[in-house]
Amino acid sequence: MYDSSIIGRHKTEVDSPALLLDMGAVERNIARMARFFEGKDCKLRPHIKTHKLPLIGHKQIDAGAIGVTCAKIREAEVFLQSGIKNVLIANQIAGDAKIRRLVNLSRYGDLIVCVDNFENAEAISKAAEAIGVKMSVLVEVNVGLNRCGVLYGQPTLDFVRQISKLKGIVFRGVMGYEGGVFVEDVQEKEKICRTANERLVNTAELVRKDGFPVEIVSAGGSNTYRQTGVYPGITDVQVGSYVTMDSHNAKFGIDFEQAIFILATVISRPASDRAITNAGKKAISSDAGFPTPVNPGLELYALSEEHGHIRIIDPASAPSIGDNLLLIPTHGCTTIPLYDSYIIIRDDRVESIAEIQARQTS
């Protein structure tokens, strides 16, 4: 945890490496996404796996979101305990210990979990019955991602029929995911999204016709909100990365403001055209490519465990030893959990320090 004496100081005075969060940009991103969904049948159920911070989650709820989405039971615990009442775990929860945590946590709000396997659903049902609760579930539908999920269409209906006999669970609807469609061709992207959403909505209708109420048809992400958010029959969209952004999302046309930055310090100038920083792989992820210096005269071209390798393209931009640089992560979701805390800034000055409470992997 950082010393609170940095509050009020300029962002470049923070000890590095540090994760900076521009709260002004966050608030503008939240407001912009909320405006897009005003008056639409589809609602926002933002995914918090990126920011992992209840402070932001509450701002999203205040702006009109119907609840939040998460990926881990620890995230669900943190957000329910923070007072957010509607939480979807858009993932499967398996293993006796985690299932016990899950069903007990359901007492704190409207908690929903995904299932795609009868034995897992049965285990959840038995654990829920044992403590006198009913666990809400969505059936995850494989609409083309080929990760988790029951195959769309008849296989999903057959599965719903199976789990409807379990006394400890309540079927609430279906979920699909096409948000991983990172293609630059807009027409190709729309085609892939349309196919996936058609599969999900048609599956929901098939289940309804068999007599099962389908309250929720959840899908999408920041990358596909424009396509999925207006597709008839989708009830809510799980946008996540838009609120903090990264260069990977920006590359594919997600034009929200950049709100997270890594502050790094130059520790060596081994050559006139190179600089080395103290932010390496342990400080910033590179699974989607190398981070981008905010200064266009610099290029980060390699990361070691503890070092960032900077190429100086414009001599006028050459930093000195001790200078601090701002880096834009390529993938916020995998960079943010590397830190215990955000340094929250506004108008370039430190506003507060916030522990990233939901960063644990359990």
The amino acid at 132: G
Report the C-alpha gap between 197 and 152 in whole angstroms. Answer: 11
pLDDT digit string, tens, across residues 71-96: 999 999 999 999 999 999 999 999 99
8 Å CB contact between 75 and 82: no
Average pLDDT value for the chain: 96
What tens digit of pLDDT does each residue of 290-344 get?
Answer: 999 999 999 999 999 999 999 999 999 999 999 999 999 999 999 999 999 999 9
Quick check: do 4-19+255-355 and 23-243 share a fold? no
Under CATH, which architecture does the 4-19+255-355 domain have? Answer: Beta Barrel (2.40)
Residue range 154-180, pLDDT digits in tens: 999 999 999 999 999 999 999 999 977
Given a contact cutoff of 8 angstroms between Cβ atoms, the answer to whether 353 and 341 are in contact is yes
Return the percentage of the chain with pLDDT > 90, whole number.
94
Residue 6 and residue 349: Cα distance in Å, rounded?
9
Q: What three-state secondary structure class fits 70?
A: strand
The predicted model scores a pTM of 0.96
Distance CA 98, CA 95 (A): 6
For residues 175-197, average pLDDT: 90
Average pLDDT over residues 102-128: 98
- In angstroms, the Cα distances linking 204 to 67, 154, 191, 224, 228 are 21, 10, 20, 20, 15
Domain locations in the chain as residue ranges: 4-19+255-355, 23-243
According to the model, what pLDDT value does residue 360 have? Answer: 82
Q: Which residue has the tokens 């390529």?
A: 330
- State whether CATH 3.20.20.10 applies to domain 23-243: yes
Which pLDDT score is estimated for 91? Answer: 98
Secondary structure (DSSP) of 220-252: --GGGHHHHTTSTT--EE---GGGT--HHHHHT
Average the pLDDT over each of 52-61, 83-92, 250-259, 300-309 and give the range with the smallest value: 250-259
Question: Given pLDDT bands bounded at 50, 70 and 90, which one contains residue 361?
Answer: confident
pLDDT tens-digit readout, 1-37: 678 899 999 999 999 999 999 999 999 999 999 999 9
> Dihedral (C-alpha) 195, 92, 46, 159: value to the nearest 10 degrees?
40
Looking at residue 75, its pLDDT comes to 97
